């Protein structure tokens, strides 16, 4: 079975370490709590939970052989991004996209797979976050210009892309201590 077939096969799920499963279950629990508080219909709640779980399984499989600079398995980062968004009580698509946000850029997954499994809205969210990653090459002077705000809005048709990217950056900032001092300064400025 090639990588594409493996990622698309939801019957073939590797064993997930307990601590990863627990972190993910915290995201699901938070989602369930705030959606129940909002009196969302049970079938809509379950649909959201199913989407988030499917995104987690896909992302876990896609990132299964990757580690972060601090030695953690990579999936910890997408889960932490989703945790930040769950604190903001976002919708299921936002949480799912947070879990998937690095799959197209950093793994064998591609937008065609995301569309096939999750639909075009999810692909637009994931691609939007990837496009925002490309803005890191802009100079400080350009960032300070008011045109950047207009460019951000023009680049994304969905404000959730910006929320996901901000949560992604926040988690990256929280883990700066694992980078070399020169990289810390570059990232923080």
- CA-based diameter of the chain, in Å? 50
Per residue in 100-119, is it b (16+ CB within 10 Å) or e — as a string? bbbbbeebebebebbbebbe
What is the phi/psi pair of residue 71, to 5°?
95, -10
Please identify which of the residues 72, 89, 91, 106 carries the catalytic annotation.
106
CA dist., res. 101 & res. 122, Å (int): 10
Please identify which of the residues 22, 47, 105, 116 carries the catalytic annotation.
105
3 state DSSP class of 14: coil
Q: CB burial class (10 A; 0-12, 13-18, 19+) of residue 31?
A: buried
Q: Is position 83 annotated as part of the catalytic site?
A: no
To which residue do tokens 């959201």 refer? 48
| DSSP string covering 26-77 | HHHHHHHHHHHHTT--HHHHHHHHHHHHHHHHHHHHHTTT-B-TTS-BTTHH
Q: Is position 3 annotated as part of the catalytic site?
A: no
Give the residue numbers annotated as catalytic, written as ranges. Answer: 105-106
């Amino acid at each position: 079975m090639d990588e594409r077939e493996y990622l698309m096969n939801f019957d073939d799920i590797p064993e997930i370490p307990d601590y990863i499963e627990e972190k993910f279950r915290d995201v699901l629990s938070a989602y369930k709590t705030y959606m129940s508080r909002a009196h969302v219909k049970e079938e809509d709640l379950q649909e959201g939970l199913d989407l988030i779980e499917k995104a987690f399984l896909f992302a876990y499989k896609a990132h299964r052989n990757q580690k972060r600079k601090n030695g953690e398995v990579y999936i910890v980062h997408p889960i932490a991004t989703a945790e930040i968004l769950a604190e903001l009580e976002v919708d299921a698509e936002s949480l799912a996209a947070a879990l998937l946000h690095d799959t197209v850029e950093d793994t064998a997954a591609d937008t065609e797979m995301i569309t096939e499994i999750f639909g075009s809205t999810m692909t637009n969210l994931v691609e939007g976050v990837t496009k925002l990653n490309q803005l890191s090459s802009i100079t400080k002077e350009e960032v300070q210009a008011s045109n950047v705000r207009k460019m951000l809005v023009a680049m994304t048709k969905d404000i959730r892309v910006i929320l996901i990217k901000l949560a992604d950056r926040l988690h990256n900032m929280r883990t700066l201590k694992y980078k070399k001092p020169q990289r810390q300064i570059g990232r923080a400025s």
